[in-house]
Amino acid sequence: KPVTGFIGQVIEYINNQNTKVVSIDIPSGLFADKSSVDSGGAIINADVTLSFEFAKKAFMFSENLPFVKEWEIMSINLHPDFVKSVDKADYLVLVNDIQALIKKRRKFDHKGRFGHALLIAGSYGKMGAAVLASEACMRAGAGLLTTHVPKMGYDIIQTAVPEVMTSIDRSETSFSELPDLDPYNAIGIGPGIGQDKETRTALKVLIQNTGLPLLFDADAINILGENKTWLSFIPPGCIFTPHPKEFERLVGKSNNAFERDKLQREFSVRYGAYVILKGYSTAISCPDGMCFYNSTGNPGMATGGSGDVLTGVILGLLAQGYTSLEACLVGTYLHGLAGDLASEDLGYEASLASDITGHIGYAYQALEK
């Protein structure tokens, strides 16, 4: 319950001092598992929080940033059985989780194929998104990538990313017709496609014509947000990668992060889909109602095109045979780690989305250690 009275006054007093505040386990007054927004109580504004054994769910949400800035986990040697008994509906993804999922290529591996992805992206005025997502998909390791673009975007994509093959729409300016889907084992749609009427129709046709789990981003999410009945027809295991505003259009409004977290899980359960809600600690909800929180990334990644790069990375992983869940977890972690490495090189301000892509290789290498 909210902290008020004398203890509340003590908290306010501490918050008003100009000293560094360290909290143990969780800042006093902060709720671990429900929203503290409008709680009416006083909450310690900790600079550093040393938490026992587990990160608290409250640490995942930016609405608690005034209370929880830096935080670290301290192991207190709980009995292993106790640890296992903890509810795992929330899971903080750490480096060893990802290392266990990475499909390492070894010198003597079968060179075979690393899949053929289809990316439907770009429209007149928004071709940059297609360029960024395409290069990211290739650098994430896709064997082949075909990017479907409108006619006017052909020169741009081919000059910028010669490794990409192209499928060219009959429309000059936007996505209006489905290419033959047979060659592809992974399909992503959304970066820069806009919301033209013919684009909406073509998206609908795509949903009706494939059994592959689709990756929806950006305007593909916005279109589905306005046509929610179509959601009933999406194949199982689809992935959505909304930023907060796209999330709201797709899933609905909420008063605080805990409520939003609940809505996110319900959406995933209802449509058998994965939702990657991009933000402070990117949250990945699953068809079984579980939610994973990502631990990489930094404020240098809040830059135009960063989301397009994430879409490319996840698509590249799907092409290589990662399951939807694996692609979500590994892709989000890798994207954040590449962004962290880019910021180490160039600083938070100067890092661009293409610098994240440029550091994907180093992120893979860092995970090998």
Question: Out of 167, 195, 254, 323, which residue is the one contacting its own copies (CB under 8 A)?
Answer: 167
Q: Confirm if 134 and 119 have CB atoms less than 8 A apart.
A: yes
Does the protein bind its own copies through residue 21 (CB under 8 A)? no
Segment near its own copies (CB under 8 A); pick from 90-98, 266-274, 287-295, 360-368: 360-368
What distance in Å separates the CA atoms of residue 58 and residue 259, rounded to the nearest whole number? 12
> Taking CB under 8 A as the criterion, which residues in 181-210 touch its own copies?
none
In 3-state terms, what secondary structure has residue 79? coil
Question: Out of 110, 170, 197, 369, which residue is the one contacting its own copies (CB under 8 A)?
Answer: 110
Nearer to its own copies, 157 or 325 (CB): 157
Does the protein bind its own copies through residue 171 (CB under 8 A)? no
Q: Confirm if 48 and 20 have CB atoms less than 8 A apart.
A: yes
What distance in Å separates the CA atoms of residue 340 and residue 119, rounded to the nearest whole number? 26
CB of residue 4 vs its own copies: minimum separation in angstroms?
27
Question: Out of 30, 60, 132, 187, which residue is the one contacting its own copies (CB under 8 A)?
Answer: 132
CB of residue 84 vs its own copies: minimum separation in angstroms?
25
Question: Out of 73, 156, 212, 231, which residue is the one contacting its own copies (CB under 8 A)?
Answer: 156
Nearer to its own copies, 114 or 184 (CB): 114
CB of residue 300 vs its own copies: minimum separation in angstroms?
7
CB of residue 157 vs its own copies: minimum separation in angstroms?
9
CB of residue 53 vs its own copies: minimum separation in angstroms?
21
What distance in Å separates the CA atoms of residue 283 and residue 293, rounded to the nearest whole number? 5
String of DSSP letters for 178-229: PPP-TT-SEEEE-TT----HHHHHHHHHHHHT--SPEEE-THHHHHHHH-GG
CB of residue 143 vs its own copies: minimum separation in angstroms?
6
Does the protein bind its own copies through residue 37 (CB under 8 A)? no
User: CA of 225: how far to CAs of 201, 217, 264, 348, in Å?
Assistant: 14, 12, 14, 32
Question: Considering CB under 8 A, how many residues would be counted as binding its own copies?
Answer: 71
Nearer to its own copies, 247 or 271 (CB): 247
Question: Out of 12, 163, 226, 288, which residue is the one contacting its own copies (CB under 8 A)?
Answer: 163
Exposure letters 177-214 (e unless 16+ CB within 10 A, then b): ebbeeeebbbbbbbbbbbebeebbebbbebbeebebbb
Segment near its own copies (CB under 8 A); pick from 126-134, 176-184, 252-260, 265-273: 126-134
String of DSSP letters for 297-312: --GGG-STTHHHHHHH
Does the protein bind its own copies through residue 126 (CB under 8 A)? yes
Exposure of 190 in the CB half-sphere (CA atoms within 13 A): 30
> Taking CB under 8 A as the criterion, which residues in 308-347 touch its own copies?
345-347
In 3-state terms, what secondary structure has residue 25? coil
Question: Out of 225, 300, 307, 331, which residue is the one contacting its own copies (CB under 8 A)?
Answer: 300
Question: Out of 7, 127, 252, 262, which residue is the one contacting its own copies (CB under 8 A)?
Answer: 127
CB of residue 139 vs its own copies: minimum separation in angstroms?
4
What distance in Å separates the CA atoms of residue 286 and residue 277, rounded to the nearest whole number? 12
> Per-residue contact track with its own copies, 57 to 76, x per CB under 8 A?
-----x--x---xx------
**Amino acid identity, residue 320?**
Q
Question: Out of 100, 162, 197, 232, which residue is the one contacting its own copies (CB under 8 A)?
Answer: 162
User: CA of 95: how far to CAs of 98, 101, 337, 367, in Å?
Assistant: 5, 10, 10, 7
Q: In this structure, how many other beta carbons lie within 10 angstroms of the beta carbon of residue 350?
A: 12
**Amino acid identity, residue 128?**
G
> Taking CB under 8 A as the criterion, which residues in 134-153 touch its own copies?
138-145
> Taking CB under 8 A as the criterion, which residues in 89-108 touch its own copies?
105-108
52 strand-pairing partners = 74
CB of residue 345 vs its own copies: minimum separation in angstroms?
7
Please give the backbone phi and psi of residue 100, each rounded to the nearest 5 degrees, phi first: -70, -20
